Structure 1
């Protein structure tokens, strides 16, 4: 299974998001073509209600532990409840350019 499909499948199943964006940002890094190693995930789910940011990230990391042990090197998480997402104008900042690697 492709990494993106795995991430989407697991998060949809366990967190029932109202919005889920999974972007492969590997091309922005010094990795082999097709590496699928750097991901940006924006997830809006009411399953995050009452959870602090660190708890949300731990939950997502736990759910994606199989991918994190394998092909995924970096995972940028943007986790919101529906209410938070609406308040912020339904957007996240662009990812910074890679500063590492040769």
Structure 2
């Protein structure tokens, strides 16, 4: 018989400013609006993020192309397990953001 002891240590919740993904997204997308919300209900170390991004880089791209572009930017973090998943709240162009802001 083998005895094992497994201790799970909860990861501290990152803040938007301490999240390395924030800098990568800022550098690549140059967003006019960026909200990154940790979204990890199980408190596992594979962080899940919820994104709201507004960027000129999305002009001419369909929704799926925008999400794939963000996934490419975060590919290293997704591959090494630093980031478990990305949930897309919005990936908008500045025009879409302005239209929706005016309709509220």
Q: Which has the higher contact order (CA 8 A, sep 6+)?
A: 1
Deviation string 1:11-33 (CA, Å, 9 cap, x unpaired) is 1111100011011111xx2234x
| Alpha-carbon separation, structure 2, partners of 1:36 and 1:88 | 33
Distance 1:61 1:3, change over 3 A: farther
Q: Which residue of 2 aligns with 1:87?
A: 99
Q: Which residue of 1 aligns with 2:29?
A: 15
| Higher Rg | 2
TM-score (structure 1 length as normaliser): 0.73
1:46 to 56, 67, 83: 56
What stretches of structure 2 of length at least 5 have no aligned partner? 1-13
Report if aligned partners of 1:24, 1:36 keep a CA contact under 8 Å in 2.
Answer: no
Shift in Å, 1:72: 1.5
> How many residues are matched?
85
Shift in Å, 1:71: 2.1
Deviation beyond 4 Å, 4+ runs, structure 1: none
Shift in Å, 1:89: 2.5
What stretches of structure 1 of length at least 5 have no aligned partner? 91-102
| Alpha-carbon separation, structure 2, partners of 1:3 and 1:48 | 25
Q: Which residue of 2 aligns with 1:68?
A: 78
TM-score (structure 2 length as normaliser): 0.72
Task: Give the alignment's Cα RMSD to 1 decimal.
Answer: 2.0
